[in-house]
Amino acid sequence: MKNTRLLGFILAITVSIDQGFKLIAINFLQNKQSTSYMYDIFRLQYSDNSGAFLGIGNNLPEKVRFFIFTIAVLVMLIGLLIYVMKNPKISLIAISIIVGGEVSNVIDRIYNNGAVIDFMNMGIGSLRTGIFNFADIFIMIGVGIFILFSSKFGQKITKAKLS
């Protein structure tokens, strides 16, 4: 029960933050030119991404994109949730953050004609990231936490805290 509450709390926080900033992006960035900050290291620019990370799959037929990026992702998320609830040793926080980011992107796809709203870009000169959103940041943070706690270093930290 404790795991369920923590999972629900993290999901609510990640989805709320991401959807809130996407709403701001729609209201203040849509149909406008990109805005540059910190000597063009950080840009805000609105983009509807109908593909996956960095637009991979943008050119697939709409029904295929819907199946892969909405249905298949939902099935994967349900599987992850079942796995994390049955295996409390795995980093519940890491998986919850990843699932929260993915849930928020699936919400976008359902309500935005199969596209995810992206609005941030970072880089120096021509070396730039793709356009991304907070859900993507949460997914990367969750993956980082998961890798850290799955590594020997993370296991040493966990054992030290339990001792």
Residues with catalytic annotation? 118, 136
Side-chain-side CA neighbours of 43 within 13 Å: the count stands at: 21
Dihedral, 3, 86, 53, 47 alpha carbons, nearest 10: -40
Among residues 98, 109, 124, 131, the alpha carbon closest in space to that of 10 is found at 98
Q: What amino acid is encoded at 50 in this protein?
A: S
**Length of the chain (residues):** 163
